[in-house]
Every structure is written in C-alpha cells, then in structure tokens.
Amino acid sequence: MAEQHTPRSLIVSLYGAYGRAPDDSPVPVAALIRLLGVLGVDAPSVRSSVSRLKRRGLLLPARTAGGAAGYAVSEDARRLLDDGDRRIYARTEPKLSEGWVLAVFSVPEAERHKRHLLRSRLARLGFGTAAPGVWIAPARLYEETRNALERLELSPYVDLFRGEHLGYTATAEAVARWWDLPAIAGLHEEFLAAHEPVLRAWRTAPAGPEDAYRDYLLALDSWRRLPYADPVLPAELLPDDWPGRRSAEVFAALHELLRDRGAEYVRPFLAGD
C-alpha cells in the first residue's frame, strides 16, 4: 500500500520538526505554502488545512516580527507535540518488569458518543483490548493516558490501574490476542519499504538541504504514526522476526542525518521578513 501524506498531517509534522520556536514566533503563511510546495502540496490545500487546524484550536493567527501573517502553535498543540516527541524519538528498550496500565471504563448508553471517543483515544494511545471495557498498555504510558483523558474530559468514565500479568495464558500469547500484531508489523514493513532505500541513498550520495528537508519531513510524517499504533512491547513478547526494531533504527538514522541539514533549508523561510 502506498503511503498517504495528507496536507494537514504534513503541516503538523512541519511544526513538530521546525515550527516550535522558543519565543513562540509564528510561521509565516507564505513559508508554509513554499515549504509544503516542496512536498507537492498546492497553496489552496495548505490554506484549507491551516483553517481546519485553526478551528481545532491547534494553530493561532499572529504576525511575525516583520509584520507578515502567520500561525503559531497553541498551548494545547505544544503539549500534544511535546507528548509526541517522547514517543517519536524514544530509544529506550521496554522491560517486561515495568508492568501494565489497565483502563477500565463504563459509559452510560445516553452518552455512547463518548464511548466511541474513549475507545478511539485509547486505541490511538496504543492500548490493546483485554476484554470488553478493559484496555491494556505498557505501564510507561500511564502519564500520557491520564493527561489525554483529562484533556478530553473523559476521566469520569475511567479507572486506571497498574499491575502485572499473572496468567493463565502465557503473556506472549495474551499479547497476540490484545493487539493485532500482524497489522502493526505491516505498518513497520511499509515504513521500511518507503524509507530504508532513502537512508541507503543518503549514505551513498548525500544531497543538499532542500532534499534533506523533503526526505526528513516525509519520513517523520510516516514515522510519527507508528509509535501510537505500536505500543512498543518488550522483545520477549514479540515474534523473532519483528520489524519494529529495524524501522526504529532506520528512522533514528534518518533523523541524525537529515534533521539539522533540513533546518538549513527551512530557517530562511521562518524569518518572516
């Protein structure tokens, strides 16, 4: 399946990589159009996607120091991006001894729309389904889960627990029931098919800053979905041929090679003069 990079997703990835200035200075609209144009996104699509992100409260209109129209990330958006960074750039190997966090929820039938939102959010956080109304994830996701549920006003419907799996099924077998491991492996394989050749090409024949920016942003836009679809389970619970570690290594190498080189291309556009 070919990768899909939507304009809205690319804008979020752009802000995540290069658009969070310490002084909260906005990214000029003209810069967004030019930088997304390098990735094949036309100006009307950029403006439409920015408008949607503005309506969601993620981007705030502001003027640059030079007086140009632009958009800065909101405080909510900054928290979401910061939470994302902890997953996207994580390099620690999880341990089985860290245990699990359980989310046990009950939503009244009259508020079933919140039940759908809750399930959707837990899935996006990386939870698997242990039983109806009982979702499970590695314990390290507790703080992020708590923050997300409070932000969405879903915490009154949920109880969170920490614990360990004591049986009766072997934990590796239970994990294969709680998560769709073949589907997650397929996402890693797709990432590798698209971006491992890019890494080989850069190691063989490095190119310029514009190419670094384009290749890095596309890799980041693909990768940032994976740490949410994949909860990153301990190695002993996964198949021997699990592709997740290799895809993480490929993204880490692309980040090391391309992120700062791409910033050389992006920086002049963010000045807003």
Instruction: Give per-residue pLDDT as tens, 215-269.
Output: 999 999 999 889 888 988 988 899 889 999 999 999 999 999 999 999 999 988 8
The answer to whether residue 95 scores a pLDDT higher than 60 is yes
Distance CA 191, CA 188 (A): 5
What average pLDDT does this structure show over 182-208? Answer: 95
For the chain, where are the E strands, in sequence order?
A: 27-28, 59-63, 69-73, 100-105, 128-131, 134-138, 158-163
- Read off the tokens for 45: 């699509």
Return the number of other C-beta atoms located less than 10 Å from residue 114's C-beta. 17
pLDDT single digits (tens) 110-127: 777 888 888 888 888 889
The span from the CA of 127 to the CA of 120, in Å, is: 10
Say which residue the tokens 């109304």 belong to.
133
Q: What is the pLDDT at residue 22?
A: 65
Chain center to CA of 237: 23
Q: Per the omega criterion (within 30 degrees of 0), is the bond before 18 cis?
A: no
Helices (H) and strands (E) in the chain, counts: 11, 7
Residues 6 or more apart in contact with residue 208 via CB below 8 angstroms:
265
Using only C-alpha atoms, what is the Rg of the chain?
20
Q: For 126-166, how does the pLDDT look when each residue is reduced to its tens digit (9 = 90+)? A: 899 988 889 999 998 888 888 888 887 887 888 899 988 88
Residue 226 is encoded by which pair of tokens? Answer: 């994976």
Residue 164 has a CB neighbour count (10 Å cut-off) of 11
- Going across the sheet that includes 69-73, the strands are 27-28, 69-73, 59-63
* pTM as predicted: 0.86
CA atoms within 13 A of residue 179's CA, in its CB half-sphere:
27
Q: Which amino acid is present at 157?
A: Y
State the pLDDT at residue 3: 55
Q: How confident is the model at residue 24 (pLDDT cuts 50, 70, 90)?
A: low
Buried b (16+ CB within 10 A) or exposed e, 36-58: beebebeeebbeebbeebeeeeb
Name the least confident of 66-70, 198-202, 251-255.
Answer: 66-70
**Contact indicator for 27, 19 with CB cutoff of 8 Å:** yes
